[in-house]
Amino acid sequence: MSDNPLLQDWTTKFGVPPFDKIKTDQFLPAMKEAIKMHDAEIDAICNSKEAPSFKNTIEALDYSGMKLMQVALVFDNYTSANVTDELNAIADEMTTLQSQHADNVSLNEKLFARIKAVYENKDKEKLNPEQARLLEDTYKGYVRNGANLNAKDKETLRGLNEKINNLSLKFSNNMLAATNAYTLVVDKEADLAGLPAGVIAAAKEEADAAGKSGKWVFTLQNPSVMPFLQYSANRDLRKKIWDAYTTRCNGGKFDNNQIIKDLLTAKLAKAKLFGFATPADYILDETMAKTPQAAFDLLNKIWTPALKVAKSDLAEMQKIADKDGVKIEAWDWRYYENKLKNQKFNFDEDMVKPYFKLENVREGLFYVINKLFGLTFKPLEGMASFVDGMEWYEVLDKDGSHIAVISFDYFPRASKRGGAWMSNYTLQYIKDGKNFYPYIPLTLNFTKPTKDTPSLLTLDEVETLFHETGHALHGLLSKVTYPSLAGTNVYRDFVELPSQIMENWCVQPEVLKVYAKHYKTGAVIPQELIDKIQASGKFGQGFATTELIAASLLDMKYHTLTDVSNLDPQKFETETMKAAGLIPEIISRYKSSYFNHIFGGGYSAGYYSYTWAEVLDADAFSVFEQKGLFDQATATSFRQNILEKGGSADPMELYKKFRGLAPGPEALLKRRGLI
């Protein structure tokens, strides 16, 4: 056995990675050795003297490469949550090795011949539904990855895959570097007018850490920039930080514009290799939506009423801004929306932050999960982590049996990209009668504690914690046999259902009374504030929905281009938003140069899936609203038909088993107050 910890069988508690032993210089040799090990497994399948069967080909293939997956998952998590200069230095080579090896496997003619033989003789195999799904996915996956291409096109595909992977990595690295490169330094206390005390304290600590004592530092991380835009009375400074935020990677040292063009060029060429007109046609062929037109149809149904509500809100906000002699611009929206909210509901979200102490919110989350699914979260002490401050829990089922390990990495740092996400270090699956359990890390970027106050979350951050833990439930409750079907290995437009439905519970009055307690006094949130949260729940949905759909439309428009030879991303973005009718006071949630979901992550032609899944989520939650917030029959059905099944069945079939019928957008439109 290798002495490289990345390649060893992890004998740590619950089989989590030995973070205290992993060093950066171990990744490359581990990746190379793991690829050799996987090659040997593939060769054994290809050269088997036995006739191709499900067991000796499809099943053997799915269980192969476990050491490679082990190395790749650690590497991928490190490059998003704990990237260093040393890791960046090897990232290109690591990505290239993974891309080349993936192509070697998916384009292996002897292997595909065996897969095809099993597929064509599947009626002779007595397969259960999960095995049938795995066979179908494996065969179609190999076809979609080029197995039926001729030799010349296979070589072309290899080059395109490597280019796409490397360009995506560069896009993400540029975004992280550009985000870290900017700070707004405030040296006059008068320029802090309007900002809540907690935001000011955090900015002071940021300044002290940067050696700028006596000043205040604001960054482009969301917990810093968004409160500044919402509360700062200094319009010039709002514009200054807004300009920095919205022009990231648009020119300069970390420019992403050429990368966007090169990426789309490669994606289009890849789609055409497979006979598809556009990348979106190729990508959506294996989703619930199936076609770009279906995605556009959904987005347009939501877009029209959302934009109408946003315009109505703008008219009301402008009346307030008129008193300040201001014509509202994009950097003013959050500021005047907050004023309008205060005027309408006598409610400012800063009122509830004292009741959203991170630790209390987390306990409220655990309470909800326990009430729904019977799970408990047992704190784990002494776990080795790759960064300080991570929290670890063993997840136990209602009978006390072990299900999974989960960790929470709460706060921003320079080595972590922005946003929030769930991932895996290990997956759930069953082999030779043994159940392998998952370890799921949740990576977040929440408001940091200060010297005087604990971490007090915004309502949006509370929803994010529930959202990401919903993804985690999809992974930790997985109950399948094969690794490639486990947990969140589902269609992109289905994966957001478990996460988005969980958001519904966090602001229910019954739940708020459990966890929303004042961080100083311990007093439960008063009914008056709960009423304000409920009354204002649909406020601002015009803006929130419009910026979300704008980003989704931009994504789909990019990925339905049939010619990108003369593409100017900035011009294209402007023209796309103008054609859609987006008002200048609102921008796409992500502008092109920092739209990491589609150019650096896995959501190409897939950002619409948040809205698609929200249709499912609103429709699904309506069952709980009808039958009871914690109705056990409904919760059990959701667990058994959605959370446990992973990708082992068609998602629409799974949804219909839970719901009894196909979903429609009406529940979503009503919930958002758009009809």
DSSP secondary structure of 427-440: --EEETTEEEPPEE
Confidence band for 636, pLDDT divided at 50, 70 and 90: very high
Q: Which domain holds residue 242?
A: 182-246
Has residue 201 got a pLDDT over 60? yes
Residue 674 forms part of a structural domain: no
367 and 454 together in one domain: yes
81-105 pLDDT per residue, tens: 999 999 999 999 999 999 999 999 9
Pair 126, 227 in one domain: no
Residue 468 annotated in active site: yes
* pLDDT average, residue stretch 489-516: 96
Contacts of 98 (CB under 8 A, 6+ apart): 31, 72, 165
Which of 194, 226, 246 is the endpoint of a domain?
A: 246
- Interval 657-666 mean pLDDT: 88
Average of per-residue pLDDT across 338-361: 96
Structure tokens at 429: 């699956």
What pLDDT, on the 0 to 100 scale, is given for residue 37? Answer: 98
- Please check whether residues 131 and 194 belong to one and the same domain: no
Distance between start and end Cα atoms, the chain: 63
Residue 468 and residue 519 in one domain: yes
Instruction: Please pick, among 206, 468, 496, 547, the residue that the annotation labels catalytic.
Output: 468
Given 207, 229, 246, which residue is the final one in a domain?
A: 246
Domain count, the chain: 3
Say what the pLDDT of residue 669 is. Answer: 86
Q: From 522, 404, 396, 406, select the one nearest 454 (Cα to Cα).
A: 522
Measured N-to-C along each axis, helices 257-273 and 569-580 cross at an angle, to the nearest 10 degrees, of 80
Q: Are 144 and 191 within one domain?
A: no
pLDDT at 1 exceeding the cut of 70: no
Same structural domain for residues 88 and 208? no
Among 509, 535, 561, identify where a domain stops: 535
* pLDDT band at residue 668 under the 50/70/90 scheme: confident
Specify if 343 maps to a domain.
no
Residues 6 or more apart in contact with residue 29 via CB below 8 angstroms: 4
Position 416 in a domain: yes
Find out whether 566 and 619 touch, Cβ atoms under 8 Å: no
Is 27 within the bounds of a domain?
A: yes
Q: Are 451 and 523 members of one domain?
A: yes
Please indicate, yes or no, if residue 418 is contained in any of the structural domains.
Answer: yes
144 and 193 in a single domain? The answer is no
In the prediction, which pLDDT does 535 show? Answer: 92
Note whether 370 and 470 are same-domain residues: yes
Residues 73 and 194 in one domain: no
Domain membership flag for residue 628? no
Distance, CA of 307 to CA of 284 (rounded, Å) = 26
Q: What pLDDT is attached to residue 199?
A: 95
pTM: 0.92
- Report helix, strand or coil for 416: coil
Q: Are residues 144 and 236 in the same domain?
A: no
- What's the rounded mean pLDDT across residues 177-181? 96
Domain-embedded: residue 615: no
The percent of residues above 90 in pLDDT, for the chain, comes to 95
Which domain CATH number covers 470? Answer: 1.10.1370.40
Q: Is pLDDT larger for residue 525 or for residue 386? A: 525
Q: Is residue 583 part of a domain?
A: no
CATH number at residue 37: 1.20.1050.40
Say whether both 102 and 230 belong to one domain: no
Confidence of residue 662 (pLDDT cuts 50, 70, 90): confident
Q: Say whether pLDDT at 610 is over 70.
A: yes
User: Partners of 435 in the beta sheet?
Assistant: 430
Q: What is the pLDDT of residue 666?
A: 83
